[in-house]
Amino acid sequence: MMVVIGLFEASTLSITNLSYSIDERNSIFRDVSLEVKEGEFVSIIGKSGSGKSTLFKLIAGLIKPDSGEIVLTDNKTKLLGEVGYMPQQDLLLPWKTVLENVSLPLEVKKEKLNLEEIRLWLARFGLDRYEHAYPHELSGGMKQRAAFLRTLLTGKDLLLLDEPFGALDSFTKRKMQSWLLGLWDDLQKTILLVTHDLEEALLLSDRILILSTTGIKDWKVNLSRPRCDQVIYQPEFMTMRKELELLIHHES
């Protein structure tokens, strides 16, 4: 089955006829095609085992598809090291400070560290008072902000966020969602987010991709930007959430 999702003139990511199987009996994807437009925020949802994290590993070049093509901006078919990838666990190095952790992408690329610029980013992420702190001294939300900043400082156009707020308590998660909304307009990045949280997907996204055994369904979020977190209490938001939940149930 081939599922084609919105074709755009300026795409950051283009996937064509993607197929991937664990073995002969376990097919994860079959002839899936999609495109993600430059500057979009797209969430990916679906039941456990639907292949969300596997899709990220394929896009990041960590595993190879059985067939099909994954192309980044400017026809880059080389994937490994070409996207910013943030897993659910923060993976901060415990023996390094916040400043040292967020600077890692620059060190790996052997780029000269611009400490003044990095400190400006730390301030925007609410971490300027913690640049010399170690991960064990940070709250869960601070760790995720540091991990997100490290991902951002890779300098990649496409950022893959695999349930970055999934391990946080509901109050901290809501604060992080609000923080990301406030930051979003200035990031000028394309983001793919894996989440199980329907409200999070609706609140943050321009589009939602629903993964199921039959392929991928594209669902547009009709909420204007800039967007504030109070939109979740509006009747139209609750209506959209109900529609999305019904659609997921139908697709599964």
pLDDT of residue 221: 94
pLDDT of residue 81: 73
DSSP helix/strand/coil, 208: strand
DSSP string, 156-201: -SEEEEESTTTTS-HHHHHHHHHHHHHHHHHH--EEEEE-S-HHHH
Q: Hey, what are 245's tokens?
A: 């939940």
Instruction: For 53-71, write each residue's pLDDT tens digit.
Output: 888 899 988 889 888 889 8
Instruction: Count Cβ atoms below 10 Å from residue 69 Cβ, excluding itself.
Output: 12
**CA-to-CA distance for 41 and 227, rounded, in angstroms?**
13
Question: Average pLDDT, stretch 86-106?
Answer: 91
pLDDT of residue 7: 36
pLDDT of residue 2: 32
The pTM of the whole model exceeds 0.85? yes
Question: Average pLDDT, stretch 222-248?
Answer: 90
Given pLDDT bands bounded at 50, 70 and 90, which one contains residue 114? confident
**CA-to-CA distance for 181 and 3, rounded, in angstroms?**
30
Given pLDDT bands bounded at 50, 70 and 90, which one contains residue 252? low
Given pLDDT bands bounded at 50, 70 and 90, which one contains residue 213? low
Terminal alpha carbon distance of the chain: 16
**CA-to-CA distance for 46 and 96, rounded, in angstroms?**
36
Residues in Cβ contact with 37 at an 8 Å cutoff, skipping those fewer than 6 apart: 6, 8, 10, 11, 12, 190
pLDDT of residue 164: 87
Question: Average pLDDT, stretch 134-155?
Answer: 92
Question: Average pLDDT, stretch 180-197?
Answer: 88
Question: Average pLDDT, stretch 182-189?
Answer: 83
The residue that leads in pLDDT, 107 or 38, is: 38
pLDDT of residue 5: 36
b/e per residue 182-215 (b: at least 16 CB within 10 A): eebeeeebbbbbbbebbbbbbbbbbbbbbbbeeb
